[in-house]
Chains A and B, each alone.
Chain A
């Protein structure tokens, strides 16, 4: 599966797609970017008159780039006829810096293991200045079905 095919296989669309570009992907990890669209509805409420990207959205962005893209790639290698999905099962993330509307972030994930359909990764997000925004561990189950 190439990078374009993986992006097309993602089950998200606006306003919940948080991947712009998949720069590199191989069996050991993924690396991609996203620029937070200032028009996203969430900025109207988080926070009132002081827009900051919510931590849960940073986790989602790390998961979409680092875990879901990688899971689709890995399952594509095992079951060539099928498109995989990834259901997030756990997240342990530390937040270090805020991300404001319009900021471009880079997500790097490294596979710790992929066994019995469970993908466990370390992930980190950096901003345009190269500063670490958040990092930690994410896990998901790779499945052929999205709804259980």
Chain B
């Protein structure tokens, strides 16, 4: 899996907030933070703040609103990393 490294770093972040541990264990690109991992909107903000810290990037409101799945989050992270 090409994004395995990124997925593993994301998994470490969301593991703090994920209510559904089964979905966490089988996390993949299609995993949805709210519907699959059962993360609420308040904790989703903490996921985004932790992503900023882990990858040393700044995420704006538009990007944040897109980051609802692993796939979308990886796209945002890669785009922000390439801007650096």
Binds B, one of A4-12, A50-58, A92-100, A113-121: A113-121
Interface size range on A against B: 10 to 19
B14 at interface by CB-CB < 8 Å: no
Q: Which residues of A contact B40 (CB under 8 A)?
A: 89
Interface segment, one of B2-10, B30-38, B42-50, B75-83: B42-50
* Residue contact B49 to A139, C-beta cutoff 8 Å: no
Residue among B40, B43, B46, B64 with most chain A CB within 10 A: B46
Question: Is residue B41 contacting chain A, with contact meaning CB distance below 8 A?
Answer: yes
B25 at the interface (CB under 8 A from A): no
In the complex, A37 has a CB within 8 A of chain B: no
Contact among B42, B48, B64 for A90, CB-based, below 8 A: B42
A63 CB-CB contact with B under 8 Å? no
Which chain B positions have C-beta within 8 A of A89?
A: 40-43
Residues in A98-118 with C-beta less than 8 Å from chain B = 113, 115-118
Instruction: A140 to B43: give the CA distance in the assembly, Å.
Output: 10
Residues of A with C-beta under 8 A to B64: 116
Q: Which residues of B contact A140 (CB under 8 A)?
A: 42
> In the assembly, what is the distance between CA of A29 and CA of B15, in Å?
31
Distance between Cα atoms of A85 and B17 in the complex (Å):
24
- Bound Cα distance from A89 to B44, whole angstroms: 12
Residue of A nearest to B52 (CB): A115
Q: Is A141 an interface residue (CB 8 A)?
A: yes
- Beta-carbon contacts of A60-100 to B below 8 Å, as 1s and 0s? 00000000000000000000000000000110000000000
Smallest beta-carbon distance A38→chain B, Å: 35
